[in-house]
Every structure is written in structure tokens, then in C-alpha cells.
Structure 1
């Protein structure tokens, strides 16, 4: 049963489990480090009864990075059943600020990867996992400012609900409140943003497997079957399993027969569908952008260029094309006057409606020049792992983002309070 948080509650220094952490382990995997020896070492400690909670959570992440998601989540569930508070590595021996991140028990892509944003700062990061059936600690861990890093997904519903119940009495400023995070899932975002001038966001509809299968019937009026689900839906359409990340299960469906082929390869029971938008430029290439919005201001994060519509940064092969990298560099250098300038009003209106202190936008430009929105969320990876030799323009841009995020935390933390004592 949750405690009553209507009145402001106290904080205290509580035991934390130290971690290697998300940023360091993910960077090791990104750089090709073999994580299996570390995995085996941690497994031995678990078997011998000498592993602490931080090592257990690191082992969970390593398993996921090695492709064994079920094992990773099982380990995570075991760890979080007895310990929920963790400390990430901090660059400063005497931190200037202490941030409490409120996370959900979900796979490694389901919470904001906030460690990347704070990795080289003088800010200490504590992460409190909010788990169904486990009350929030009273008093809460001592902190200067809190931020919700759980996502708008089914797996995070309980965590968001628990945090929301406590929000009114939270003793410190809370960024990204759960009531606003809960507007970001694909089927809700369209309703939130529709009507913004200069912004194109296709309606995304949640459908069951049975509904999708019905639309595969060999009927010349099959478009009408889709329209029964949502008036905007027509072939070709985009389909993906509900809750999937990073393009898993994403496909273009050009007609009814393709639905059967798609479902034959998928076991999921719920899907998101939306209309397909051809956003290729005159040169036949697709350009997809990631924008970071911090305290209402947009920043360039990356630009991916490819000859395929289902593009994200890794499959664009940016590392193998000097021309693509030069274009991305120009995008970052001229962002404020060029891209952000063209879409200033649409971006400002979007930031106001979303209302979050920190979120990301995956977008493009349609053939009319409007800002085409694919997704907005609070959990996309914003990092500085790319090689500075290949991408010398990226570290300064990432530093600009990280500094802006840290500055927001300092600015929004309670004035006059003794911080990170």
C-alpha cells in the first residue's frame, strides 16, 4: 500500500548500490569490447553469494547487450525485488548537485538513458526503480531535483501511476512529470499535436491482430476495412508491434496480401498502424533527424541519410560516407538558422503542447516542406560514443546538449538549498 504523500515528505541519505552503469557498459559494447568475461565474472559472484545489487543490475544489462533479453529481465526482476536505489559513476568527487531519476522495471530501452547526459558532469545521479508492490521509500533518498525517466509504455504504467500519486507532495522539484510522459505513446501523440501549422503527424492507431487480419481479406473494398478502424488509413501503411523499439517488426504494407505475410512472421497481438509518407528528397534519399528539446529549446542531435524509408542512424551507414557526414556536419552547424529556423513555429508549438522539460523528436521534412513527426519520447539515446576521428563535429554538439541539460537541472533545482552536501 502506498504511503500518503499529500503533504511534503522528508528526505534522507539512504543506502545506494554502486554500478558500473548504463553509459560505461553500453559504450564498451558499442566499441566492440567483449563483455562475456565480465558477465562470467559477475555470474561467479552471484553463484558464490558475493554479488551486491549494483553488480546484479549490471549483469542484467550485460545480458541484454549480449542479446539475451529474457535472462537480463529475469535478473533485473530478482535484483529489484530486494533493492531499488542505485548510484551511477560521477566525474566529481564532490558533486555539485544530486539528481534522483525515477525509473521503471523495463528493458534497457524503456527508461531515459540519462547517464549519457550527465557522464562528465559534476552531478551525482541516483536512480530509484519504482516497482509495483514495493512502496516508495519514506523518507525518500536525499536529492536536489528529481526527473521521471520511465517511458509511456504498458510496462511503465504502474511506475508512472505510483509516481503521479506521490507527485503532489514531492519534496523537491520534479521534471518530466508522469502525467505529461503519459501523452507520448504513438497513438496519443497525434491527438496531442494535430492542428499545429507546418507540422505533419500521421494518425497512429492501435489495432489487434484480429483487426489487422480482417484487413487482409481479398476484397476490393479492403481500404474501407482499414477506414473502419481509422478514416485516415489507406494502403500503403506502416505497421509495427506495439511497444517495439529500434525498428523491430517495422514494415511497409502495400496491400491486403502483405498483411498475411507480415502476421505469419510475428507473434504479437497488438500493433500500431499509420499511413506511409514518402519523404524522399529529389535525389531519392531519405533524411531523418533527431532533435533534443531541453526546457523548450531544440538542439540538433543527429541526421541520418539513406536510400531506404525505414531509416535509423545505424542502418544509414554514415561512417562509410564522407558526403553524408559532411551534410550532417552542416545540419548541426547551421541548425539554428536553417532547420530550426524553417520550423521555428512548429517546434515551439510542439514543445509547448508536449510540455516536458526534456524529450526528443525523430522527424523529417515532407514534400511540402512541413515538419514530419515520426515519434517524440523521453527515452531515445543521446550519446557521444561515435568516433571523434570520423565525426569530429559531433563532440562539440553533444557537449552543447549535455551542458544545456546540466544547466537546466541547476536552474530548476530548489533555489537556496544546500546542494549535494
Structure 2
């Protein structure tokens, strides 16, 4: 769920009492600058308005949207909070502030904002969409779905304007209201593509599709999006354009199916994995042994994912994990002799294997953004070697394993997370379509990553354009 419902979308919500005659013009100019990607100038325009009229809702709200879009999320949250403080009855302000709180993990505070928004506008689709997102993050899927059903509009389409030169490639992106979508911000540059985005669950198939040359099915999480993939098939039946990641290829990439599909491939070690009810976990622990990994389906980045080292810790772990069913996963030890764990990520892009990153950490659950890469030059050197020459870094056996996994899954776009064991075999963690390619931070220590990641983004963009 992204922040960013604009005040322009809801002109009745803009309060300009006391505006000087030029404020409306200043706001239109700032909005136009933002729409054309001239973000620094737009920011200065919004700030100039607020210097004259600190109560201008449109400037506060849309400044927050701009800051969110350009990854200044803390500053965006402050702008949204100020908009709510000065305009407590404005529904859009409440929704955007709540979305920013959800993104920051402040669920209690977000819930309070959305409760007020529901009282102000009980039927507002954006309020229900945000409430569904909040409840899903809290693990209450049933209540989330109730709100999600109230969030659909007859034509669930949004548009990313083209800001390049020449004729753009027109892309229709299919997404799910449930989430589990491929982040497309960097691979679908507004300098190359004119993008229409369609939410499949709420789309009326009697509505004509917008102009497009290629369809990118961005619905990527097969554990939670089976219904959305079915809806995507209904949308695809309306046209004949080529498709990136057809739903029938994504449908079989849930965690359990993937582990079963790749387990018997040469040089691959995949964990045993089953979906069980909470009450069945102790029995499954006897089969898999400890340590045991437990995961609530449908979550990423370590949310609702626990490692249970012994039976005495099991009840506490179960109490923290929502949902009727859990994934019980065999633990594969990816640590080296020094106790460091490694997680490699390789992207599958149009039949090519593209190295993306290597994360090294003392934590069993390795994520790049929480790993120890910034602290240790030798870790960065090891990652640089992997990015420069992947076959030399991981070995022939692991390369053969990656090629077999890519062929087995058949995705146009996706990623594989893995480690290498002491025999040079691939320890399979996961593979799916939802993995993001994100440019590195601005600090010079990450300069070695810029060219490899730029190549990955270019490969994905070219693959999509070539399909058209």
C-alpha cells in the first residue's frame, strides 16, 4: 500500500480559506511540476505556498506525497501529520497519514487515524483500502477482506505519465489489491514507458482496456494471490498483447510448490516444508526436528517468521504468529566456520541469470538492509567479487542449479535467494516474482554495486520492451 492520494483528486477537500489571489496559481504550478517529474522545483513550490499560508491543505498533503515518492519517508510523515493536525476532518489527510504510519510499522497509531476516517466517510474506498492493508499486516485476513471488498471502484485504473522523448512503450500492469505485487518503480521508468495500472479484483471486464503493447502481470505472490491470478486471466482474455509472467507460470510458485519442484534438481538442497494448523506444529516439529522455522503465509521481509531452537520455545513462537495455518520449514544451516550466514540473490530476467546482491550477517535470517555489509569492507569486497564474476564466486555446481531452477520455474521476471553449502551445492531458500531491484544508497561505499544493479534494471526494462 502506497501513500499518495492527491488533493487534486478530491478538490472539494482542499481548504484555501484566506488564500491570497496568487496561491491557487502557485499550487497549480507546483502540482504541474510534480506531475512532470521536476520534484525539487515542485517541493520548493509547495514550501513557498506554506510560507504564505501554512494551513493550505493541498500543499501540505501533496508535499507529503512528493516526499514519500522520493524516499524521504520520515519527512513525508511529518507533512501528513501536520495536514491532519490543521485539517482534522479531511479524510484524505487521514488516509495518507495512516498509510505512512503502516509503512513505518506504527499499526496502533494508523488504526486510530483510520477509525476517525471511517467515521468521517464510512463509504470512502480509500479508507477501506487502507484499513484492509492495516488488518492484513496485523494478521486478520478475514476482516481485511471485508474492507477490501468495499474498496473497489468500477474502473480500477491509474496511470503513470510518460516523461521521455519520442514514442513510449505502452505497458498495462496488472496488480492485486491483496498485495504481493512486483515493485515496478525502477524497471518501468517514466522516461521509457507509459504505464497503466489495473487492480484486477475490482475491474469490470465490460470496461475497455487502456491502450497497451505489452502486459506485465505484476501479481507475484502465489501464496496469497491465487484468486487475483484467476482475475488476471479474465482480464488477459480481453486482449491479445504479449504477457510478461503469465499467471499460469506464477500460480505454481508458492513456497511449498517451489521447494517440491526444485528439490530433486542436481546440486540443489531444498528444505522440507508443509502447511499445518497451529495445533499440528508440535507433531511436525518431531518430524523435522529443531531448529524449526515457522512462518505465517503471505508475509515477507521477516514479518511473522520465527526460528524455534527447542521445544521449550515453541508455545511462545506460536503465540506470535497469526493465521489458522503456518508453514513449518526445515532449517538449513547456511553458516560458515565463523558463524556468518550468507544469502545470495540472483534475478531471472528473460532467460538470463543476473547477480543482484550478497548479504552476510551473524543473524540466521539474512536481509540485505539488516545485514552487516556497511560495517565490514571484506564483506563488500566479497559481494563485489560475486557481482563481477558470479560463476567464479559460487562455483559450477551452484551455477548449474540456478540454471535448472530458472528453467523449472519459467518466469520472465523473478528472483532466487540461496546459500552455498560446504560441498558447493545450492541451499534453496525461496524463488518468486516479487523481488525488487533497487538502486543502492548514495554513500560512496556502495559505488561497486551501481553498475551491476543498473545492468539488472536495464535488462528487465529491455525484456519488457522487447515483448511489445
> Is TM > 0.5 for Structure 1 vs Structure 2?
yes
Aligned to 1:243: 298
SS at match of 1:146: strand
Cα distance, 1:359 vs structure 2: 0.3
Matched, 1:74 2:74: no
1:231-264 CA distances to partner (integer Å, 9 max, x unpaired)? xx23222111122211122222233322112123
Larger radius of gyration: 2
Q: What is the aligned partner in structure 1 of residue 164 from structure 2?
A: 92
Distance (whole Å) between structure 2 residues aligned to residue 23 and residue 403 of structure 1: 25
The TM-score with structure 2 as length reference comes to 0.71
- The answer for the alignment partner of 1:418 in structure 2 is none
Label 1:393 to 1:359 Cα distance change in 2 as closer, same or farther (>3 A).
Answer: same
1:122 aligns with 2:192: yes
Q: Is contact 2:398-2:424 (8 Å) kept?
A: no
Partner in structure 2 of residue 380 of structure 1: 435
CA distance in 2, matches of 1:256, 1:399: 46
1:36 to 57, 74, 78: 78
Name the CA distance, whole Å, in 2 between partners of 1:305 and 1:382: 18
Cα distance 1:385–1:392, how it changes in 2: closer, same or farther (>3 A)? closer
Q: 1:266 to 1:79 in 2, by over 3 A?
A: closer
Q: Say which structure is richer in helix.
A: 2
Which residues of 2 match residues 333-352 of structure 1 at below 5 A? 333-339=388-394, 341-352=396-407
Superposition deviation, residue 184 in structure 1 = 1.5
User: Is the Cα–Cα contact under 8 Å of residues 395 and 424 in structure 2 kept in the other structure?
Assistant: no
Contact (CA 8 Å) 1:241, 1:268: kept in 2 or not? yes
Q: How many residues align?
A: 376
| Deviation sequence 1:170-221 (CA, Å, 0-9, x none) | 3211111111111111111112222110111112211111111455xxxxxx
Contact 1:290-1:360 at 8 Å conserved across structures: yes
Q: Is residue 117–residue 383 contact of structure 1 (8 Å, CA) maintained in 2?
A: no
- What is the DSSP-based 3-state SS (H/G/I as helix, E as strand, rest coil) of the residue aligned with 1:35? helix
Q: 1:45 to 1:300 in 2, by over 3 A?
A: farther
Distance 2:177 2:252 in 1: 19
* Unmatched tracts of structure 2, length 5 or more: 1-8, 11-34, 38-61, 115-128, 134-147
Q: In the alignment, is the contact (CA less than 8 A) between 1:39 and 1:62 conserved in 2?
A: no
Distance 1:254 1:399, change over 3 A: same
Q: Aligned pair 1:394/2:394, yes or no?
A: no
TM score, norm. by length of structure 1: 0.79
Gapped regions of structure 1 (runs ≥ 5)? 1-15, 216-221, 227-232, 414-421
State which of 89, 97, 103 in structure 1 corresponds to 2:175: 103
Task: Note if contact 2:170-2:195 (Cα within 8 Å) is conserved in structure 1.
Answer: yes
1:273 and 2:328 aligned: yes
Q: 1:6-47 CA distances to partner (integer Å, 9 max, x unpaired)?
A: xxxxxxxxxx998999997365146x5443304654898995
Deviation at 1:301, TM superposition (A): 1.0
> Which residue among 203, 218, 225 is the counterpart of 2:272?
203
2-side partners of 1:175 and 1:46: how far apart?
44
- Taking a change above 3 Å as real, the CA distance of residues 382 and 240 of structure 1, as seen in their structure-2 partners, is same
Contact 2:267 2:397 in 1 (8 A): no
Deviates more, 1:339-348 or 1:273-282: 339-348
Task: Give the structure, 1 or 2, with the largest relative contact order (CA under 8 Å, sep 6 or more).
Answer: 1
